[in-house]
């Protein structure tokens, strides 16, 4: 009897897990394990983020405060302060149909910002995993 109950609970849990949306990472997007759909947030490693933005004309946004931005930022990054009430208004000036690349200090703000951008209709948001802290730990530089 115990075995049947455990089996039933396992099957029930598996069924619910199969119905839940899966987070997509850059690795699964490349391998095709999950299909890329509209309104996708992609948590991206520093190396992949660098490949996607460096030397390219993309919508790159540093969502840190101006003080943090002035201490060092990625080349070509706009500075839209996540803590300002005008943050979403500034973000709405970007093209929602094109990918937007966002980063902050540690990744906390971008997690919240990415969800807001998704709800606002942005089709693809690339979130730098671990923010500039992880960027620097990976050996990449910022400009002043």
**pLDDT in single tens digits along all 144 residues of the chain:** 455 554 444 444 434 333 333 344 444 444 443 334 557 999 999 999 999 999 999 999 999 999 999 999 999 999 999 999 999 999 999 999 999 999 999 999 999 999 999 999 999 999 999 999 999 999 999 999
Q: Where does 38-107 have alpha helices with state H?
A: 46-53, 66-71, 87-91
**Of 54, 62, 111, whose CA–CA distance to 87 is shortest?**
62
Residue 104 annotated in active site: yes
| Cβ neighbours, 10 Å, residue 129 | 20
Which pLDDT belongs to residue 41?
Answer: 96
- Residue 44's φ and ψ, nearest 5 degrees, are -120, 135
The CATH superfamily of 22-137 is: Rhodanese-like domain (3.40.250.10)
Which pLDDT belongs to residue 2?
Answer: 53
Per annotation, catalytic residue among 104, 113, 117, 128: 104
Which of the 8 DSSP states describes residue 56?
Answer: S
Instruction: Look at the alpha carbons of 32, 51, 110, 107 in this order and tell me if their dihedral is positive or negative.
Output: positive
- Residue 103's φ and ψ, nearest 5 degrees, are -150, 155
Q: Give dist(CA 65, CA 29) in Å, integer.
A: 31
């Amino acid at each position: 009897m115990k075995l049947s109950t455990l089996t039933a609970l396992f099957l029930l849990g598996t069924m619910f897990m199969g119905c839940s949306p899966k987070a997509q990472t850059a690795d699964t997007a490349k391998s095709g394990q999950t299909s890329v759909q509209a309104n996708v947030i992609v948590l991206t490693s520093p190396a992949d983020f660098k490949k996607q933005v460096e030397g390219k004309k993309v919508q790159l946004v540093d969502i840190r405060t101006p003080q943090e931005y002035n201490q060092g930022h990625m080349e070509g990054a706009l500075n839209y302060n996540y803590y300002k009430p005008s943050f979403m208004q500034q973000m709405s000036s970007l093209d929602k149909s094109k990918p937007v690349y966002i980063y902050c200090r540690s990744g906390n703000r971008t997690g919240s910002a990415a969800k807001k951008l998704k709800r606002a209709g942005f089709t693809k948001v690339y979130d730098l995993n671990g923010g500039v802290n992880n960027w620097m730990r990976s050996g990449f530089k910022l400009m002043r």
